[in-house]
Structures are given as structure tokens and as C-alpha cells.
Structure 1
Amino acid sequence: MKYISFVLLIIICSVCCTAQQTNTFRKQYDAFKQEKYSEYDGFRRKANNEYVEFMRKAWVWYQANPSFLMPLHPDPPLPVPLSPDLSEVKDIPKKLLPYEMVIVTPSIIEQAEPIAPVKETLNIGEIFHFKAYGTEMKVRLSNKLRYNLRTTSENDVANQWMHLSNSDYNNLLYDCLALRSQYNLCDWAYLNVLEQLAEAFLGKQSSEVALLQAFLFNQSGYKVRLGRSKTNRLYVMVASQHQIYNMSYFNLKGDCFYPLNYKEDGLYIYDNAFPKEQQMSLIVGREQLFMDTEVESRTLCSKGEYRVQVTLSFNKNLIDFYNTYPQSSINNDGTTKWTFYANTPLSEIVRKKLYPVLRTAISGKSERDAANILINFVQTALIYGYDDEIWGGDRPFFADETLYYPYSDCEDRAILYSRLVRDLLHLETVLLYYPGHLAMAICFNEKVGGKSFLIQGKTYTYCEPTCTGYAPIGWCPKDLETIPPKVVLLND
């Protein structure tokens, strides 16, 4: 009995010592974390103090540059290719076709981050609810923090920026960054969510809104400038890694800054850099997780031997977001614009209805037969329409939009088909740009024959998603066989 008591005493002492050690370690860690956050806060405060002092100096007048024009002044769209007689395309002879150049999609750059981690104030604080793209969102933001600018002079704007940078707004910035992560927001979506938040809190189209949006985007790590019109209205100006079409811009020290909601002939601009600022990207890259608001479903049915029928639902909030998305390009090369659309995934609401049906249709098939079933779906289930007649100009679609809207053209179908092939067959694809036409090609693992290209040591088989009827993979319209296209590589 004495032995057992002795052992228990040792165990109890050990547990107490362990608990004390754990408690000591926790206190040390908490102290270390507090010290680090104090350093971060000090770094942010110092950066904002210096930024504000430059802001008080006279802003410089700049004339805006006219908007970038689409570098591809589109040749008239080619007529929809006539589908071939199937008896003539049972065995398409293999033939290598020429191409002009290969355009590589650049790697995705990580989203911007604040210059230092934002310290969250532990007390919950007042919750402010707002809607962005039909989605209920919330941040910690007290009604007491509403403000009015006395004027939009340099000093008054600087004073308010200084006020925004104090700890009262830390939770707001912390929550905005959390929203970006929670909803998978790309930079363009995040910028617009901040605007909708600011408008809900301060009223629409005001200088106060512009200042709050600029502050939050800037403190999130993005390259932002402020401009003031001759009528004393503030404008947010954002720098982009990619050229944005149909938006005026200001060239400031070699960077293009795009003013939002701009209707002026020039601006007085505060052009000073904030530490570690980063240009925003127009790459979407992943599904934006806006709340599902389903619209009337649409039934699509392909024709012929490979008949497939599916009824799809769509997220109207996501469609509305895509409708605000600006056309852009990389290095002002218009052939790169399609990568933004083609490298964006289909939404889950569409995938969960469409993909089981297509997987069933291609189950047990060879790569060639499966690709033909998918291309027949794109060729015969969709109705062709010219952008000029429907939209008044060129309007590329994300894959969701091609399935949602009643009409689509060659670029939309090539983008959709490349998405289906990558997702369902796990094969590499490229887009092929011809004057007035967009097609695509697939790198098969098996030999399939037909018209093809040798690109970077791999064979890609021509595919024509736009046709008056069914045309199998490997078939190429005769008038395109001698025209070398530009090849646009896509992400897997």
C-alpha cells in the first residue's frame, strides 16, 4: 500500500510539474505573440504616418490616357464551318499543320498581403451586415465609425486616412481579409466587395466611399492611388498586372492606374508608394463562392449518335459577377485574353448536375470516343450567335456563361470544350487563334490520327467545337489547314 501511495505521489508531482511547464510555455508564447503584434502594429503605424505626411503635399494634375483598345481589331468572324459528311471522316489521315507562335500562360502570383499581420481586437464589437453580389456578409464595424469628410483637400483626406489607420478599424480590415479567403475572392471581386461594403456603410458614390475602399485595398497590400477631380470628388485608382480594356488610365511612373467609376478629363493625384504594395491581378482562377441564388434551369440536349440531355441550374450571383468582369490581356497581347476565361473552373452548382451525366456518357470509352461525345455536346446542344448582334461587341464567356446564355460563339465553345476535356478526361489542351476564329486542340495519350500540331514536343489534335453539326476530333475545315494559328497554352 505504501508503495502504491509513493508511486501515486510521484505521478501527481509529475503531472503538476508538466501542467506548470505547459502554463509557463503558454505564457511565454502569448508574451512572444503580443511582442510580435506590437512590432507589426508599430511597423504599420510608421508606414501610414509617413504615407500621410506625403499625402498632405499638393497633389499633381494629370490628364487621363484614353482606354486601351483591343489589340486584335477583330477580323470579321468566319462563317460557322459546315459539318462534314460522316462517311468521309471515319478515318481522317494524320497530317501535321503549321502554327505561328506559342503563347505561354504566366504562373499565378500569390494574392497581395498586408505589410504586416493585422492584429485582431479580441472584443467582438458591433457587427455590420451588408450584401455583395447577392451574398450576405458581415464585418465588425461600429456605427460610431461613420465619418464625413470636411473637404477633399490634401489635409482633410490625410487626417481621415490617419484616423482610419488607428486600431479602431483593425477588426474591419481583419474581417475583410477573412472574407477574401472565405469566399475565394479574386482581386477584382475583392475590390468590388470593398466598394459595396463602403457604399452600404457610408452611402453610394461619395468621396467617403472612395477613401474607405482605397484605404482597405491599400492596407490589404494592393497598389492604390487617390485622385481628386476639379469638382472635388475623390476617385480610387488601382494598378493592374494586366491591361484592362475600355477603362481610361493614368501612367504614373511606368504603372497604369485605372480610376473606378471615372467620368472626368483629368485628376489631381496623390502618387506615393506604400511599402510592399502589389498590383492587382485580373486572373479569377478559382470559383467565387457567392451564395447560390438559382435562376430558372436550362435543359441542353445534344443530337445524333452521342445524344446527351441534361438540365442545369446556375448561380445568378456568380453570373452577375462575371458580367462586371473587364476584358484584359497580358503584355497587351490580345490573344492572351482567353486564358482568363479558360483557366477559370466551372461552378460547383453546374458541375454537380453536368458532370455525372457526361461521365456516364463517356464511361468505358477510349479517349478518342469520349472526346467525340463531349465535342458533339458542345457542337449540337448550343445555339450559335454573333457577339456583335447580341452584345454589341466582342464578349468572351466564362464556361458557366456559355451554358447559361442562349447563344454562344466560337471562342465561348472552345473555352467550354477545353474545360470539359481537362476536367473529365484529364488531358492537356491549347486554344488555336485564327483571324476571326477560335478553335482548340487536345494532347491525347493514345494515337488518334487526324489533323494535328507538334507543340513543344507533344502532338495536339485539332478540334472544332463550332460547327453546323457534328464534326469529330481531328477534322479541320479545309480553309484553315493552311493558315498557321497562334497557340495559347492553358493550365491543367
Structure 2
Amino acid sequence: MMISINVKGQNYSFDFYNGTFNFSIDSSIVFNTSQKATATETEKFYSYVSAGHYAELIASLKKYREKYDLNDWIYYQLIRKTAEQISPKADNYFRYTLYKWFLLSKCGYDARLAVGNDQVIFYVKNEENISDIPFFMIDGEKYMCLNYHDYGKLFKQADAYKPVNITIPEARNAFSYKVTRMPDFKPENYAEKDVEFSYRQKIYHFKLKVNEDVQAIFKNYPGVDFESYFNIPLSRETYSSLIPILKNNLKGMDQKKGVDYLMRFTRYAFLYENDEQNFGTEKRLSPEQTLLNKYSDCDDRAALFFFLVKEIYDLPMVALLYPTHLTMAVQFDKPVGEFITYKGKKYSFCEPTPQAQDLKIGQLANKLKNIKYEIVYAYEPTKR
């Protein structure tokens, strides 16, 4: 990180994926707080900082977001890193969180704070179906907690925290967890990963470009709805190291054989391990994380298979959630083998996760037959 000093305050510069974020901090928005989180300290902080010269910093953040077309979740990582430069998390967690809240709010998001148990809870308005993080309801609106993971087991139930009532006129927008575009990472930050699998007595080799920065992006990413999850894309370098190679390998294959190839690539090119063994808890991996990680489970492979089929063939698909398994079914011109009917259309089973049997398209694992499932996502290609 480069830091220089000017008369009014400090200039900061730090790398943010493929770009560099430059910003200035006017001394009028530098405010020291105690380390103990209280409503009174929060009100003092806001009263002081909101009266200072913060407009240039907010303009810099908004300009960077627009230049690099950042989704809200990625933009929040930029705000988080900016707050870290102003007030390091390790030095004063309360103050660091106050700056995150102030910046996110002044950038237009309806963010709130609550205090209690000597903790500060930071949350933001959200209108999506998020399944695995705490939330608060205020006037019928849902606010998702952005920092509960920092407290771990010390985090209490929602009623342990009392909201701090500060009205910020520009803080009106809901925050979205959808990631529809990955950042452009620096090419030199990618490593090469050798992947291979066998299809019809032929070994196929891949040299994937993968980047550990992807792990940081999704470290505290919540359990979003399946539509949002399935549509997380690959970064440009990883995409370029995989999709053109797959398309070349699929030349000469008809559509069904090509989907079979992608199903078996997803099933056998990566080692299987369930999340409890791998992470100690349930954790969905994005398609790029599945390519990067040594192990993955059924959710991860279903998302990767969906991405590959959508990108190469753009076929209608449904995701089927069983009590302990997630699998896929694809709509072809004519159904293959066993299929399900959903809204009048026939979808053939395509199992992207290793099973006891070597399943073909149109085959379902014996253990899943006669088990109830739920269609959690149905994809219909946009008509061209």
C-alpha cells in the first residue's frame, strides 16, 4: 500500500483486483471513538463525520464502482478495504464498523447499526431470499447482518441488540447479494492447475487458470437463492482457460453426447468430499471455486454443470433438491431415459456428482427413486 500526506489529510492507494483505488481522507472526517460500542458513541461519530468533507471520498467510491461495473457484494469489499485503511479493524473494531456503515450509507444503501452486549451489529436492507445469516425486521423491511461472522459464537439473538436510530436521507437503496460479474483479476495472480478426466477411453487434459482471490470474495458470502447461486459466472482468465478448450473437445459430438461429456467432466475431474468433512459446515462453492478447490460436493457440481451447459448449449434445465442431494435435469429435443415433467416440459436426469452407479443421461441413482424432491430453480433460455 502507498500512503502520502497532504496538507488537509491523507491520500491512500491500494490494489483492488485488476485496478487501483485512489482516495483522499480529509482530516474533518477523522474521528476517534472508544472501543466500546454504544449508541451515544455512534451518534457522536455520525454527527462529527457527516459535518466533515466526505463528498470527495464518496464520489471516488461511486466512480470506481461505475468504472469497473461492480456488483453490490464486490462493491462492499471495496468499501470494507477502504474502511480498513482509514481505521484498521484490528485497532478498533467498533470504529472500523462505523466507517463501513457510514460509507455504505452515503453511497446510497439503507444500512443500519444496532448495539448491545458490547457489540456493534451492522446490517443492510435486502429484498432477496437469503437463507443462512441473521436478519432484523424494521417496519416490515428485512435487514441482513453483514458482520455476525466477526463475533462467531459470541453473536447473540437479534433481541440482544438495540437499533441506533439515525436517519441518513440518501440511504434508501436495498443491497443485492447477486454476483453477475466477477472482477478482472491481474493475470499474473493466476496459477495453473492441471485437471484431467477420461471419457470413452480417451484422457482429456486441462490447464486451468485459477486465482485464490476468488476465495476471499466468497469467504463470508451467504446462502443465496438458487437462481442467484447458479448464475455466478467465471472470471475472464479462468473462463478463457476452460470454455474454448471444452468447445473444441466437443466438436463432432451431437448435443446429447456433448452434455454427457460435460456431465462426466463435472462428475469425475474433481475429488468429492461433503461440506462437513471439507469445511465443517454447509458451504456452497461458486463454479470458479469448484474449479479451484481440491474437493467439492453435489451443490458445487450442480452449479458448475449448469454453468457449462448454459454457456455451451444454453438448454433449459431444472435443479432438483432432495433431502440430502442436489441434482440436475436437462430438456432435450426428445427426452432421454428417465425424465421428470415440469410445467408440461420433459427434463432428462443428468447427475453431475459421483454415485454408486456410473449413471448415464436419463438415469437416477437408486437411492433417490421414490424420494420427494423440490424444483428449486428452472432455467429457460432467452429467446433469440
Q: What range describes the TM-score normalised by the shorter chain of this pair?
A: 0.7 to 0.9
Tell me the CA shift for residue 461 of structure 1. 1.4
Provide the rounded CA distance (Å) in 2 between the counterparts of 1:178 and 1:195: 16
For structure 2, the 5+ residue unaligned runs are 1-8, 35-39
Report the equivalent of 2:31: 148
Provide the rounded CA distance (Å) in 1 between the counterparts of 2:130 and 2:336: 40
Provide the rounded CA distance (Å) in 2 between the counterparts of 1:290 and 1:145: 34
Matches within 5 A, 1:184-333: 184-204=69-89, 205-229=92-116, 231=118, 235-242=121-128, 244=130, 247-257=133-143, 258=145, 260=147, 261-262=150-151, 263=154, 265=156, 266-271=160-165, 274-275=168-169, 277-292=172-187, 294-305=189-200, 307-328=203-224
Provide the rounded CA distance (Å) in 1 between the counterparts of 2:74 and 2:163: 25
Please identify which structure carries the higher strand content.
2
Tell me the CA shift for residue 431 of structure 1. 0.8
Corresponding position: 1:128 with 2:12: yes
Letter paired with 2:280: G
Report Cα offsets for 1:180-216 as digits up to 9, x if no partner.
2333332222223212101112232444332332122
Contact (CA 8 Å) 1:338, 1:396: kept in 2 or not? no
Report Cα offsets for 1:224-281 as digits up to 9, x if no partner.
11334464x6553322223555544433223343252455653342235545712212
Aligned residue for 1:250, secondary structure, equals strand
Provide the rounded CA distance (Å) in 2 between the counterparts of 1:417 and 1:316: 21
Classify 1:160/1:289 alpha carbon distance in 2 versus 1 (closer, same or farther; 3 Å). farther
Contact (CA 8 Å) 1:440, 1:463: kept in 2 or not? yes
Bigger Cα Rg: 1
Provide the rounded CA distance (Å) in 1 between the counterparts of 2:291 and 2:250: 20
Tell me the CA shift for residue 432 of structure 1. 0.9
Give the alignment's TM-score, normalised by structure 2. 0.82
Contact (CA 8 Å) 2:30, 2:49: kept in 1 or not? no
Provide the rounded CA distance (Å) in 1 between the counterparts of 2:41 and 2:58: 25
Letter paired with 2:216: D
Report the equivalent of 1:163: 51
Aligned residue for 2:50, secondary structure, equals helix
Contact (CA 8 Å) 1:183, 1:290: kept in 2 or not? no
Provide the rounded CA distance (Å) in 1 between the counterparts of 2:245 and 2:212: 22
Letter paired with 1:387: D
Classify 1:390/1:201 alpha carbon distance in 2 versus 1 (closer, same or farther; 3 Å). same
Provide the rounded CA distance (Å) in 2 between the counterparts of 1:295 and 1:484: 42
For structure 1, the 5+ residue unaligned runs are 1-124, 329-336
Classify 1:203/1:385 alpha carbon distance in 2 versus 1 (closer, same or farther; 3 Å). closer
Classify 1:271/1:254 alpha carbon distance in 2 versus 1 (closer, same or farther; 3 Å). farther
Report the equivalent of 1:66: none
Classify 1:194/1:283 alpha carbon distance in 2 versus 1 (closer, same or farther; 3 Å). same
Classify 1:291/1:228 alpha carbon distance in 2 versus 1 (closer, same or farther; 3 Å). farther
Report the equivalent of 1:456: 343
Report Cα offsets for 1:450-469 as digits up to 9, x if no partner.
11122223221111112357
Tell me the CA shift for residue 221 of structure 1. 1.9
Matches within 5 A, 1:38-49: none
Report Cα offsets for 1:161-182 as digits up to 9, x if no partner.
4324xxx322211121122233
Provide the rounded CA distance (Å) in 2 between the counterparts of 1:203 and 1:350: 32
Give the alignment's TM-score, normalised by structure 1. 0.65
Aligned residue for 2:360, secondary structure, equals coil
